[in-house]
């Protein structure tokens, strides 16, 4: 008999298993990682290229070339290309990043043979028409002008500059960058930098493996680029800094704090991840409780760990009431002092452990979720057992170790603070 006055018993399995996948070394030397699942008539293919912002010789070349790959190839303009994909129910997404650029195709399984050849032609035959570049540059310039009165834009820009200085990670596109970029710049970047750095391809869903291997081998060439990225040596400044900026007629204050931290491979990373989550990594965090729930100074405040090819850093972000910046900074310091000097209750630590494991499991349900986890491992050169080992360590980590790691790696003496209001 169902007793409605009592909550049902909950069961939670904290164990994390490795995700199974197939790996192929194609005769064009491009790695292919795939998960075959014939439950549904849908499939996805994603190609990861180098040639991100970190590899640019011309500022903006990565962003504009990535976003204009669909603007035309020999015999087809952008309208023709868009209609081709739309009529076949395909979803195509191109994303430019700091380190890598990713290109995704999702479609009904029986349409893959028809769609994939054109998808691959976009990488081999882009023409980057001047008129399309002008349109995108004008749009980007308008966004730039609008952003000049947004506190969030300025806090992000100033924090990047404070953290990374002259390194490409620290550069935000300027109006001059946008105006000066040319179609020739895009062609040079794409052919000499991006196309020569095809990292790997992932595929998931219901598809013919042999067809996929064959068409990739026939249509994509791997050009080994032995040149290393020509970037300034990344030496993040460790001195504590505070940058303030005032905007006219601003209705909100934007606060960002950043500081260098450990990489995935550090033995302290699991403990740091636990500590970061306790402080600001989920809705029930200490920052949220103190600054949002108790003081009502923000709709939300969060702390996240960012991992890039040449750097790892922690960022605290909040959009807060105008004029409340100094108060919020003080409250953050109060919470850090508490966690540095008072033991973390087992109940709170266990709650965060369960949250992290549950979040991972909930984001690993579908076939596309799982292949994204494989992509994550390959991008960061992590072992197949990384997630299983990471969560095993999470489960065994004690509060004292979390506290010790936070004292070392999550310390106000490292903070690069930006306040824009």
% of the chain exceeding 90 in pLDDT: 88
Q: Tell me: pLDDT of 408 over 50.
A: yes
How many CB atoms within 10 Å of residue 400?
11
With respect to residue 6, please indicate whether it lies within any of the assigned structural domains.
no
Beta bridge partners of residue 201, listed in sequence order: 32, 47
Whole-number Å distance between alpha carbons of 352 and 357: 9
What pLDDT is stored for residue 15 in this prediction?
A: 86
What pLDDT is stored for residue 20 in this prediction?
A: 96
With respect to residue 224, please indicate whether it lies within any of the assigned structural domains.
no
Is 399 in the same domain as 275?
yes
Q: Tell me: pLDDT of 404 over 60.
A: yes
Q: Which of 117, 401, 29, 418 is nearest to 253 (CA)?
A: 418
With respect to residue 78, please indicate whether it lies within any of the assigned structural domains.
yes
Q: Tell me: pLDDT of 233 over 50.
A: no
Whole-number Å distance between alpha carbons of 64 and 186: 7
- Strand spans (E) along 115-188: none
% of the chain exceeding 70 in pLDDT: 95
Is 137 in the same domain as 189?
yes
pLDDT band at 234 (very low <50, low <70, confident <90, very high): low
Phi, psi of 51 (to 5 degrees): 75, 30
How far is C-alpha 264 from the chain's CA centre? 14
Q: Tell me: pLDDT of 311 over 80.
A: yes
Q: Tell me: pLDDT of 271 over 70.
A: yes
Is 215 in the same domain as 274?
no
Is 252 in the same domain as 344?
yes
Is 263 in the same domain as 347?
yes
Query: Over the chain, what is the mean pLDDT?
Result: 93
Q: Which of 217, 230, 312 is nearest to 272 (CA)?
A: 312
Among 155, 186, 219, where does a domain finish?
219
With respect to residue 208, please indicate whether it lies within any of the assigned structural domains.
yes
- Contact yes or no for 14/198 (Cβ under 8 A): no
Is 313 in the same domain as 175?
no
Q: Tell me: pLDDT of 231 over 70.
A: no
Whole-number Å distance between alpha carbons of 224 and 221: 10
Is 61 in the same domain as 168?
yes
pLDDT band at 25 (very low <50, low <70, confident <90, very high): confident
Task: Quote the number of domains for the chain.
Answer: 2
With respect to residue 236, please indicate whether it lies within any of the assigned structural domains.
no
Among 166, 189, 219, where does a domain finish?
219
Is 63 in the same domain as 192?
yes
Is 326 in the same domain as 181?
no
Q: Tell me: pLDDT of 184 over 90.
A: yes
Is 366 in the same domain as 248?
yes
Global pTM value? 0.91
For 66, the domain range is: 22-219
Q: What angle do CA 201, 207, 209 make, to 5 degrees?
A: 65
Indicate which CATH number applies to the domain containing 407. 3.30.830.10
Q: Tell me: pLDDT of 51 over 80.
A: yes
pLDDT digits (tens, 9 = 90+) for 367-399: 999 999 999 999 999 999 999 999 999 999 999
What pLDDT is stored for residue 226 in this prediction?
A: 44
Is 215 in the same domain as 268?
no
With respect to residue 233, please indicate whether it lies within any of the assigned structural domains.
no
Q: Tell me: pLDDT of 227 over 80.
A: no
With respect to residue 11, please indicate whether it lies within any of the assigned structural domains.
no
Place of tokens 């004008």: 138
* 140 SS3 class: helix
What pLDDT is stored for residue 1 in this prediction?
A: 62
pLDDT digits (tens, 9 = 90+) for 80-108: 999 999 999 999 999 999 999 999 999 99
Is 210 in the same domain as 346?
no
Q: Tell me: pLDDT of 222 over 70.
A: no
- Contact yes or no for 236/313 (Cβ under 8 A): yes
With respect to residue 254, please indicate whether it lies within any of the assigned structural domains.
yes
* 319 SS3 class: strand
- Contact yes or no for 140/178 (Cβ under 8 A): yes
């Amino acid at each position: 008999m169902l007793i409605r006055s009592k909550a049902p018993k909950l069961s939670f399995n904290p164990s994390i298993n490795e995700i199974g996948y197939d790996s192929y070394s194609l005769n064009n030397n491009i790695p292919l990682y795939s998960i075959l699942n014939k439950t549904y008539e849908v499939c996805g293919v994603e190609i990861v290229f180098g040639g991100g912002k970190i590899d640019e010789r011309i500022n903006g070349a990565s962003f504009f070339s990535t976003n204009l790959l669909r603007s035309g190839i020999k015999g087809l303009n952008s309208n023709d290309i868009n209609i081709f994909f739309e009529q076949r129910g395909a979803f195509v997404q191109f994303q430019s990043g700091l380190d890598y650029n990713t290109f995704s195709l999702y479609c009904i399984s029986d349409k893959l043979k028809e769609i994939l050849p054109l998808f691959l032609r976009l990488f081999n035959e882009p023409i980057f028409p001047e008129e399309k570049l002008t349109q995108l540059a004008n749009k980007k310039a308008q966004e730039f002008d609008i952003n000049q009165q947004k506190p969030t834009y300025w806090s992000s820009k100033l924090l990047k500059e404070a953290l990374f200085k002259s390194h490409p990670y620290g550069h935000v596109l300027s109006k001059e960058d946008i105006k000066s970029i040319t179609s020739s710049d895009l062609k040079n970047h794409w052919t000499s930098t991006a196309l020569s750095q095809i990292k790997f391809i992932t595929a998931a869903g219901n598809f013919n493996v042999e067809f996929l291997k064959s068409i990739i081998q026939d249509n994509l060439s791997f050009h080994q680029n032995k040149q290393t990225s020509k970037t300034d040596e990344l030496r993040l400044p460790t001195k504590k800094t505070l940058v303030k900026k005032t905007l006219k007629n601003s209705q909100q204050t934007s606060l960002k704090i950043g500081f260098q931290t450990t990489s995935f491979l550090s033995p302290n990373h699991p403990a740091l991840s636990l500590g970061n989550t306790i402080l600001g990594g989920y809705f029930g965090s200490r920052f949220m409780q103190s600054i949002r729930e108790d003081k009502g100074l923000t709709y939300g405040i969060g702390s996240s760990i960012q991992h890039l090819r040449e750097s790892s850093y922690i960022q605290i972000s909040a959009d807060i009431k105008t004029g409340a910046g100094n108060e919020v900074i003080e409250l953050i310091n109060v919470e850090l002092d508490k966690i540095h000097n008072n033991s973390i209750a087992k109940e709170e630590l266990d709650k965060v452990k369960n949250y992290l494991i549950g979040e991972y499991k909930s984001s690993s349900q579908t076939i596309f979720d799982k292949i994204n986890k494989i992509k994550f491992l390959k991008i960061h050169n992590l072992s197949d057992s990384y997630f299983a080992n990471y969560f095993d360590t999470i489960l065994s980590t004690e509060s004292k170790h979390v506290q010790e790691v936070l004292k070392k790696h999550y310390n106000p003496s490292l903070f690069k603070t930006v306040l824009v209001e």
